[in-house]
Chain A
Amino acid sequence: MSEQPHGLIHPDLRSDRNESATGQDGKRLDHAEGASQPLRSKSREKQPRGAKIRGDAPIDQSEAANRFIAATEHEKMHDERLWDLRKKRDHIAHGIDEWEELRELASQIKQHTLAHLDQYLEQFEAAAIANGVHVHWAADGAEHNRIVHGILADHGAKSLIKSKSMLTEECGLRPYLKGVGIDVIETDLGERIQQLDDEDPSHVVVPAVHKMRADVADIFAEKLGTDPNNDDPNYLAEQQRQATRPLILAADAGMTGANFAVAETGSFVVCTNEGNADLSSNVPPLHIASIGIEKLIPRLEHLGVFVRLLARSALGTPMTQYTSHFRGPRKGGEMHIVLVDNGRTARLGMPEFWSSLKCIRCGACMNTCPVYRRSGGLSYGATYSGPIGVILDPTFNKRKYSALPFSSTLNGSCTNVCPVKINIHEQIFAWRKVLSEEHEIPLLKHAMMKAAGEVLSHPALYRMAVGAADSALRHLPRFLIYNPLNT
């Protein structure tokens, strides 16, 4: 910032406000907090919205990213907030001597489990049934939603409180249940913000990370009746808590996802920082857990490896505040597990892409991705965004997500932070080949590459292109470097 006579200006009126770094007491803040700013800037920047969705037409991530970058305050906040998580991750990971071995171990445990997934799933199911749990199998999102609806209908349940679950986002559970007259209340604060704003989560761990405090104040003012001029995070969080608690206490059923499912015990583990999974599962008498079949690990002892990696990779903290183990229904209650495939077995059969099933949804690849940090998660127009998103999304819809693997510089940082060592950037590279061969890349792009290949394989044509005095002929190497914004 420019040198201003700071002594003359009240600190609250300075323009160089930084949302994420420090609180009012000057101390560093944890991820879920934000510094309180009693005064607002006069002209407030509107939150940029995500990619335009038009049926199965390819998502134009670049277009949405440009709008995000044009919202300079949001882009700066988003980039810095997530880079801060990346730095915290480095700090804590580099403090553990065996960090790289832990990553390798986690990767091998996942590889082993995925290679014997059929056996471990059967083992898990048998153990869960023995624990008194009802186990259901869903081939796809639609079947998952029908099963969940069926369980709720059997109990006459009209309201469902749930903790954060990317799987239920994948399945489109919330809109489905809304359509059949069941109220869904998200209990994760970020996810609740997104629900109230009718937006998808923009990040797998911090779903509202693209929003500034004033954006949240606007939504809460409209939906919860809070003071629109108060964007103090403590105030906003407390208001949400007061508004949501009665709904939790009155809910007919609760739902969680799972971070890990242990085959030998038939139990599952949910990691949260807000304790909301415990409320969702323990307050109502009925607990439904939706679990993707790739969440399996063989034994309880393996959990130690993943729990050490998860929160450190995600937020740079040693543990999540809550690591809740669920084994069976409590007295007088009922527990259901829905094991969901939704494209996972098909992905397991893809030689170049199966290892993406190792993902534990920590979001580290998103935090480190320079493109994601400057684009916002909603620019990808898909359930999963960032590096892991661009390799998962085309498995759901090759045409719709055909452009996403090109929203990467292939810099490889994602691969290096991945706690289960998924070769993310190599898979992005491999997806480009698949999409090109299956004619899912724009004709113009293909034609340009064909022309480039033609010239670059013929020395005489190439010499003409490079050496000619006529600058028009120098076009070829030039187009490989320059765009209108870096010239």
Chain B
Amino acid sequence: MRVGLFIPCYMDAFEPDVGVATLELLERFGCDVDYPFDQTCCGQPMTNTGCHAESAATEALFVKNFSKFDYIVGPSGSCVHQIREHLTAIDQTDEVRAVRARTYELTEFLHDILKVDAFPWAEFPHKVGVHYNCNSLRGIGLASPSELNKPFYSKPKDLLSKVKGIEFVEPARWDECCGFGGTFCVFEPGVSAKMGYDKVSDHSRAGAEYIVSADSSCLMHQKGCAERIGLPIRFIHIARILNGATA
């Protein structure tokens, strides 16, 4: 199984550890992983701002980099959502459609494709609150959102529950948006930050030592917000826990 490792641009710049953990994790399960070095971004910053024409060249580059793989796997539901749902600024050739259909978020790939049932090396003896990026939750269905009258499921929680010592806490508004919202946090910083303060406070009240998520972008926003209001809560990407990080 040839897997193309898709590492979002902000993660490449600020959280390379998550990229490394994703690579190691996929290799532990026998995937033949390659990292196309010429990759940059999924195009989301431009399309979320309505600038689809400005996104076209970036989208074309993504397809060029990843067309030769059986699967494309990235540790960010938000960026994967962009590829699957919104990579539409370029002609929808067979190649483009195939790349879009084969792109998976890491936890859904582990859960649905590899059907992983154990992480023997993983141990995380901490209280964690799970945060869902909204595109991951309501866009590509990593878990069932609270609004819908449907049976609850959560792929990230399914995987995390196989980690030794982990304990879940439940914030009151567990799937309310944290206010990151892509370029929203740049163009509407006041509301964005207030949502972030409320989000980390909610997890803190629930007793979380860590907020864990399958998306680093939300976590980076929340980390800044927690530091701003002086909450001693910590943040970790799910890939690192599943790969055996203990703190």
Contacts and interface: CB of A to CB of B under 8 A. Distances in A.
Q: Name the prevailing secondary structure of the A interface residues.
A: helix
A324 interface: no
A415 B51 CA distance: 23
A9 interface: no
Given A477-B14, A483-B189, A445 B40 contact: no
Given A412-B138, A445-B187, A453-B58, A477 B181 contact: no
Interface string A371-390: 10011000000000000000
B76 interface: no
A409 B9 contact: no
Contact of A459 (B38, B45, B51, B53): B38
B14 A436 contact: no
Interface in B6-45: 9-10, 12-14, 37-41, 43, 45
Nearest to A98: B149
Contacts of A452: 45-46, 54
A454 B40 CA distance: 11
Interface string A334-374: 00000000000000000000000000000000001011001
B231 interface: no
Q: Which of A409, A417, A434, A477 has the most CB atoms of chain B within a 10 A radius of its CB?
A: A409
B48 A477 contact: no
B12 A466 contact: yes
A370 B12 contact: no
A486 B134 contact: no
A242 B28 CA distance: 75
A482 B224 contact: yes
A481 B217 CA distance: 7
A413 interface: yes
Contact of B188 (A407, A436, A450): A407
Interface string A462-487: 10001000000010111111111111
A100 interface: yes
A62 B147 contact: no
Contacts of A406: 49, 184, 187-188
B166 interface: no
Nearest to B184: A409
B134 A453 contact: no
Interface string B200-233: 0000000000000000010011101100100000
B196 A62 contact: no
Given A370-B176, A482-B224, A410 B48 contact: yes
B191 interface: yes
B103 interface: no
A429 interface: yes
A435 B54 CA distance: 14
A486 B86 CA distance: 27
A282 interface: no
Contacts of B195: 370-371, 374, 409
B40 A486 contact: no
A409 B222 CA distance: 15
B171 interface: no
Interface in B43-78: 43, 45-58, 60-61
Contacts of B175: 413
Contacts, number: 209
Given A453-B51, A459-B61, A484 B46 contact: no
Contacts of A249: none
B57 A453 contact: yes
B183 interface: yes
B173 A83 contact: yes
A479 B145 CA distance: 29
Contact of B221 (A435, A457, A481): A481
A319 interface: no
B190 interface: yes
B46 A449 contact: yes
Contacts of A413: 134, 138, 145, 147, 175-177
B18 to A, nearest CB: 14
Interface string A429-463: 10111111100010001100110111111110010
Contacts of B244: none
Contacts of A83: 173
Nearest to A89: B147
A408 B51 contact: no
Given A96-B149, A480-B182, A486-B224, A453 B46 contact: yes
Nearest to B148: A416
Contact of A415 (B10, B138, B224): B138
A93 interface: yes
Contacts of B12: 466, 477
B179 A370 contact: yes
A69 B188 contact: no
A413 B217 CA distance: 19
B12 to A, nearest CB: 6
A143 B113 CA distance: 60
A441 B61 contact: no
B246 interface: no
B146 interface: yes
A436 B50 contact: yes
A379 to B, nearest CB: 9
A429 B148 contact: no
Nearest to A462: B40
Contacts of A61: 188
A435 B50 contact: yes
A418 to B, nearest CB: 9
A455 B45 CA distance: 12
A453 B146 CA distance: 35
B150 interface: yes
List the 6 closest pairs (A to B, CB-CB), nearest first: A409-B181, A432-B50, A436-B50, A457-B57, A485-B193, A486-B224
Interface of A: 61-62, 65-66, 69, 75, 79, 83, 90, 93-94, 96-97, 99-100, 368, 370-371, 374-375, 405-413, 415-417, 429, 431-437, 441, 445-446, 449-450, 452-459, 462, 466, 474, 476-487
Given A411-B177, A412-B134, A486-B228, 10 more contacts: A97-B149, A368-B147, A370-B179, A410-B184, A413-B176, A415-B138, A436-B50, A457-B58, A466-B9, A486-B189
23 contacts: A61-B188, A62-B190, A62-B191, A65-B191, A79-B198, A370-B176, A371-B191, A405-B50, A408-B184, A409-B177, A411-B138, A413-B145, A452-B46, A456-B45, A456-B58, A456-B61, A457-B58, A459-B39, A459-B40, A480-B45, A480-B186, A486-B221, A487-B228
